[in-house]
Every structure is written in structure tokens, then in C-alpha cells.
A and B are shown apart, each in its own frame.
Chain A
């Protein structure tokens, strides 16, 4: 029943003084209202007969707005007057165009579209949870509502990482082109891989003349070089407990994803093959065997639902996966945190196996709070203690870094905003030095 039934009864109560037998009047009126409510309820369109489907966006970048429409079709012979609540998880930030308090009217055989605008607050998969239809009768006295009638049409909007570092992409690409030699010069020194032999023209570096080939031909031939291509790059994301730490206003994992995306975009443009692996105690996401333009969207979709877990990362598992998948020498970029406990016990024992086969780069975000603790002038005794603790953490980090460097591992340690460009620079330098 609805508020109208209560109001009807309350208004009817005012007529009681005019009744010859007030208590009989009470019974008659209550019975009549209940009868009307029942009748109205019977006459309401059955919610179980409705069919609900959805259409709209499947993915949206974090910060953007997606629109998902709920299509409600009324195949029954009665007009549907209903309140419809389409519930999404709270972090989906759903705002229905038709609020649940408003009555939706659907003629028999017709359908109505109820769009919701989603502005998600977090990265990841944001599912629709429940659809509730409250179907009112023609008098608005009673309604029918049952859980699961109609069934909630499943829909998930994947919220993609913001990829803020893509603003660095043009600059890095231009540097890549310099290294490639496509834009500035086609001379020696910008590549290490043999490309072709061509005839000498005035202005070529005489050092690049291939005398042996020239001896076989009548012309003087020079060698041309190009940068290495079709190298393998493997991004490994640690989604264990250290990735849950918030650095700035986002978890470390989000920074790592951002940097991994920039690296992937850059490597894809440079003609390298990129694989992605995310793991903590189990493998959470993998992307393998793709290149070309489809690579970046695939990586974005694979990394979007990743969430940090409160578990110690199993570096044994990661090393095993790496050695199993990558037979050729490749550049392994491990996104983790420089923490003595996690790396010293997990990574260092398996690092020799890994470093023997691959070139390993460790990318870590460092914490601006630590920097602030060590550089400010202490004002109170507590500040002095905090500075001591921070220096100790930094010393431990340096120890880890030294231990890693001993295995020939390159460590990139940068503040959250600078990790992606710094890592891209490292990649470009390794590429230009032919160390991939």
C-alpha cells in the first residue's frame, strides 16, 4: 500500500462524527480501504512480465562520464506505472536521468529507455547491482514489487586508468625518432643493427664504407644502421601489499600502471613487442603476443581492473612465470617498491636467475612524505624522531638499491609524478645504447 491508502483512511476518519455507529464506521472504512488496496494491487502491471535490457558504454576513462541506458519493455496488456531504481555500486557515481522517486509510465507493448550517467570515482570494474521495479495500480493505492522481477540485466562499466602521463608521449616519441634516425639523420651512430648497403654519396661518413662489399662491386658501398627493432619488453606489476600504499593521493599501483602504459605506448611505437604481467600471490593479469596498434588498448583493459591486495608478493612465482614465458633475452621492468623487507626476502634470492637471462629494471615510486621529513628543519622533538626514522628508511632503501645494483639491475626511483617520464627516458637510453 502507499501513502494514499493511509491518507484516505485518515480523511475518512473525519467523517466518523456523522456516522450513527462510529465503531461500525471504522470497520467499514478500514475494510473498504483495504479492499481498494487489494483491487489496485491486482490491477497493477505485473513486474515479473517486464523485460529489461541495457545498452550504452562499456568502458570509460577515470574522470569521464559514461551513459548506460536501461530499456524497460512492457509486454503485458496493462499500462505500467512504476518507480524504477537502477542501483549501481556507490563508486560508480551513477546519476539516473529519471530519479527513482519519479513515476515512469509505459503503455502496453511499448518500451522506455532510462539512461544513467556514471561518473566513476575509482578505476576498475563497476557493476550494476540491482534493478527494482515498483509497479503501482491505476488508483495509486497499492503496488507490486518483488525482488528479482524483472531480473537485473548484468552490465559492467570498466573504468580505465586516467593515463595522465600520455602528455609526455609526444616528447618521448620525438626523442625516439631521433634515436631511430628517421627524422634528423640517417647516419651512423644512432643505431646498432645493420640495415642495408647503399652507394656512397658525398657527405657520408667515410668510416661507414664497407670495403669488403665495395671490393665485390664497382661502386663504393656504405653500410646503414638502424636501431634495434622487435625487441621484447616485459612489464611486471607487483600488486602486493606495497602497491597499496598511497603516495600522493593515489595508490602506488596506479602510478605503476600509468608508467607502464607510457612505456607500452612508447615501445609499441618503437616496434618492440610488449608483454604485461601483474601478480602478487597469483597472476592477476597477462597480456602476451601482441604488437602494433591493438597493443595499447589491450594493455589498458588488462590493467584497469587490477586492485592492490594485502598479501606479500610471491617473487618466486613471478620469476618462474618470466622464465617460462620469455625464452629470449628481454627487458624486464618490475614495478614495485624499494622496501627492504619485501624485496630483500622475496626478490633478491630469485634475482640471479632472472638477471642471468634478462635485463632487469626496477621502477619504484618514492614517497614525498619521506623527503619532507628529512629536509624540513625540526621544530619539536617528535620531528627529530621522525627525521631519524625517515633517514633510517632511506638508508635501508639505499642498501636494497646497492644489493640490486650488484646484480646488474637498473633502479629507477622517482617521485610519483615523475616515474613515467623517468622510466621512458631510461628505456630510450637503454635502446640507444643497444642494451635491450
Chain B
């Protein structure tokens, strides 16, 4: 039993472990796939969506995917003047010069203090806001509010809700990718707000008859301007009056400075020459508010289309990191020296006292490896008939030698001899020894047990005498030294068979 006990459990454990792993896989693989799909989608969407805070987002000079250079070119191709402004105040001043469209592609970048000024534009000006957040809508006191946002922009026609578009230049257009952010009339707002393109575009009559809120930036961006009727939509919306003032902000706008006199910076003062025509950069050598003696005079980068919006930030030198002065200098020196000490300690530990000692390992082959492997093969292949045949043949061999029957004895004689010895019915012994092959593992186990019982029942008498004394015949040089008396303790039941594999030739004295 001991060998069974030691041999069997590893097989069971080896069997159970893969099954548990398989069960875990069954749960993990679909969940992991779903998580992978979800995260891929989210990441792709986040990458795909343009960020209005980015540099060059819908800028007339930016040629990237999110830029607006193609829109600017298209407008100029229609004979529309594109005037790029990087300062909101200058843009407001420029609009007052005559009929114009003020295009604000990133209203979220406007400072809260300057947003309000958009509400008081001259009536000849059309203001186009692209996807303004709720904060801007409230600051300009527009009677609309955001009402639902789609996952991605949808191409919609101008009369998507069976109402003619209020702007005549947009009426004959086809579908444009406007349907990203939808708008609705704010509670308490006037009903004069008119919508078109399926709520993606709101036209507000109140400050002037041309305040337009567009829900998506897609029709204006380089990347998508050629899809659908986007180009026609953008040029028709912006190019009406023949002049576009394009407010191009690089980042969040700094707060407006209200001049106190002491700083010499007049409040809301436009700087001369700060505006640059997009077609001809180069006249923008005007400096910031500090006057012509500033760094703008000698820096070429300033005269570029960079604009002058961040001049005041650029000409101040970077202050040193305040952390350096927060602690005394010796602390930094101390830390550095401790680091050197740690380096020395590492060098000390790095040198080993001689290499590891290698040794070839001896060959190890587990005992009965092939036999156990064959047993597993039998089990895996379900070779019950082969196993049963082997067991029966082995049992028959043992029984015949113990019952002093010749190896050629017919089955009936064997069964009769067994019945005589054990008192069982001969039919039962015959069935066990020559019956049908087992169909299930259970039957095989029962057969193995029955055979075991048979051989054990026949054994005691056989142990009494059939073995000749060792060494008597010369051919018994393989004497049955087998079980030394001390090695076979009497079992509680019938004594086990005298030897694991009694030699049949010797077992038979006849």
C-alpha cells in the first residue's frame, strides 16, 4: 500500500492542477479580452479627440491634423481676408473696424474676465464659438446650454429636424460633421434661439444677428475638412462678411492687467503692431507692453508668427528652484557625500570572495519510472481490456502454480480447483478469470480486487509447502531467497502471497 500511497497522489495532484488552471483560464481569458478591448477603445478615443489646450489647435498657421491651415487657405481662396490675432483685446479692436467674423476656435482658453467682452460686439460682427463649455456660455450670457454629447462627431444635414436652417448660406449644404455637442435653450432663455444641423449649431439673435455656437471642431480641422461638406460649411459660415478675425490662443490666456499707473501698463491697452496678418508674418516686431526697448527688438523669434502673447513671460529670467535655497548648502553636500559612501559600500559588496563552485550533478532516474508511465498511458487511453488481460494472465499463472496445475490446464479445471480450495462457486471464479472485458474503470477496479482476493485466498496453502528447499536442484540457482522470514510479517488477514512473483517453474513440484 505504501508504494501506492506514494505513487498515486502526485498523479492526482498533477491532474488537478491543470484543471484548476484551466478553470481559471476560462474566466480570465474573456474578461481579459474585454478589458483589453475596452482600454484599447478608450485610449484610441482619447488620442483621436483633439485637445483645445494644445498648441496649434485650429490655428491658421498650424499644418498638423488639429490645425486650421487648410481652412485658412480655403478662405483666402474665396477672397476672404484672414486676420490672425493672438490677443483677445486686439481681436476685439480689429472687429470694430468693419463687418467681420470673429472666429474663436477655443473659447475655453479665454480668461473669465475677457469672455464677457464677447457679449458686446458690434452688430456687424458675426461671432463663431466652437464647442464652448458651459462656463463660457454663462459668462457671455447666452441663452443656450449644453444638452448631451456624443461619443464622436456625427455628420448631419442642415435641416435634420425638418426646419429650414436660419442661415441662408448654409441651407443648400449637404451633411457636415457638426453633431458632437448638442445645445438646448437654457431655462428662462428666450425662444429666439434657433437651431439647425440637429441641435449642433445654435444661432442666437440677441447681441447681433450672428452669434453662432458650433458643437464640433471637426468641420474646421485639417484632418476632417475634406470629409462630407465640411469645407463648404466652414467657409460659408466664416466667409460671409469677407473678413475673418481669427483668435488663435496658444494656451490659457493670462488675466488682463488693469493699469494702476505704477507699472506703466495701461489696462486693456492694445499694443500697436501686435497683430499680424497671416499671409505675411514679419511685421510683428512690436514688443510687449514695456515699450520698444524690450527684448522683442532683438529677438527674431518674436517677429515670427509666434505672436507676442507670451512676451511678458519670456523676457523674465527663470527664477532658480526655490528648493535649493530652502535648505543650507551643507545639507546638499552631506547628501552627496552619503551617496558617495553608498557607492563605496556597493563597490565593497560587489566583489565576491571567489567564484561559485560548479559541480556536475549525477544522473537521477526515478525507480519504476517506465512502469508508472505505462500505467498512466493505460489510464489515459482507457485500455481497460488490455489491463484486464494482463491482470488475468498474471493471476492465472500464479493460481496454476499454487494449485499444482499444469500451465496448459483448461479454464474449467482451474475454476474447479479454486472452488475446491476456497469454497466459492466455480462459476464465480471462472467469471473472474475468463469473463468479459470490463467496460468502465469501476468494473476494472472490481475485477482487480476480485483477482487479488482469489490469489490471496489460494495463497496460504501454497505457502505451506510447494517451494522446494533452496539450492536443491542446480537449476534453482535463482533460489527463492525471496522473502526472508523477517521481511514478511504476518498480516492480520490471510498472509500475503509468499512472494511478489513466485517462480512458476519452481513452484510446481510435479
Chain A positions within 8 Å of B, measured between CB atoms, are: 1-3, 5-7, 9-10, 12-14, 16-17, 19, 22-23, 25-26, 29-30, 33, 83, 85, 87-91, 100, 122, 129-132, 134, 145, 147, 241, 244-248, 251, 307-310, 361, 367-395, 397-398, 401, 405, 410-414, 418, 422, 425-426, 429-430, 433, 435
Contact = CB atoms under 8 A, between A and B. Distances in A.
Nearest to A122: B362
Interface in B460-508: 471, 474-475, 477-479, 481-482, 484, 496-497, 500-501
B151 interface: no
Interface in B320-341: 328-330, 332-334, 336-338, 340-341
9 contacts: A3-B345, A23-B336, A30-B340, A91-B359, A383-B4, A383-B8, A393-B370, A393-B374, A414-B482
Given A16-B333, A426-B477, A89 B359 contact: yes
Given A376-B3, A382-B11, A384-B447, 6 more contacts: A5-B344, A6-B348, A145-B351, A368-B3, A384-B448, A389-B371
Given A83-B353, A130-B355, A375-B497, A388 B387 contact: yes
Contact of B501 (A88, A89, A398): A398
Contact of B371 (A5, A361, A373): A373
Nearest to B363: A244
Given A370-B368, A373-B368, A433-B474, A1 B334 contact: no
4 smallest CB-CB distances across A and B, nearest first, come from: A372-B3, A132-B354, A22-B333, A388-B387
Given A374-B501, A426-B477, A87 B394 contact: no
A89 B357 contact: yes
Contacts of B376: 385
B379 interface: yes
Given A130-B357, A388-B378, A412-B477, A375 B345 contact: no
Contacts of A378: 4, 445, 448-449, 452
B441 interface: yes
Contacts of A392: 374, 390
Interface string B432-466: 00000000011011011100100000000000000
B445 A9 contact: no
B17 interface: no
B369 interface: yes
A374 B447 CA distance: 14
B481 A6 contact: no
A386 B371 contact: yes
A147 B8 CA distance: 51
Contacts of B374: 389, 392-393
Given A85-B354, A386-B375, A26 B347 contact: no
B43 interface: no
A22 B345 contact: no
Given A3-B345, A22-B330, A386-B7, A377 B363 contact: no
Interface string B283-327: 000000000000000000000000000000000000000000000
A17 B359 contact: no
Given A22-B333, A377-B449, A369 B7 contact: yes
B129 to A, nearest CB: 57
A426 B478 CA distance: 8
Contacts of A385: 375-376, 378-379, 387, 444
A30 to B, nearest CB: 5
Interface string B1-40: 1111001100110000000000000000000000000000
Nearest to A421: B481
Contacts of A307: 362-363
Contact of A391 (B333, B391, B444): B391
A13 B341 contact: yes
Interface centre among B367, B372, B482 (most CB of A within 10 A): B367
B14 to A, nearest CB: 12
A130 B334 CA distance: 42
Contacts of B337: 9-10, 12-13, 16, 26, 29-30
Contact of B478 (A33, A89, A412, A435): A412
